[in-house]
Amino acid sequence: MISIESIQSKASKMLVAVWFAGLIYYSWRAKETPAALPMWEYAVVAIVGMFVVSILIGAILTALAAGVTRVATGQIDGSPHAYAWAAFAAPILAFFTAGYVVAFLG
């Protein structure tokens, strides 16, 4: 069975990669509108957002997975299955969060 640490490590790498992919996608879509951001703002949003989104989304989904496991099974240490589902949802949330950030700044 895969360890929880391995799941979280892979999820955090994927979350950061998808954050950049979301920024690129939504920024590319914003190029057709006059609200495109300057390049230095994209750099700030990419670097700061990478840390903030990774910490916020990761912490929230990890706590949710631990809470659901504790309520459902009574185990304190958590279930790899719940963490795997949280790891699956984290990049999806990061992608759409990038869209909201670009729309908010533009």
User: pLDDT by residue (tens digit) across 74-98?
Assistant: 877 777 888 888 888 999 999 998 8
- Tell me the one-letter amino acid at 96: F
Relative orientation angle of helices 4-30 and 80-105, to the nearest 10 degrees: 20
Quick: pLDDT tens for 39-55: 787 788 888 888 888 88
State if pTM tops 0.75: yes
Predicted pLDDT of residue 35: 54
Q: How many CA atoms lie within 13 A of 14 on its CB side?
A: 16
Residue 3 has what pLDDT?
79
Distances (CA, A) of 28 to 1, 8, 31: 40, 30, 5
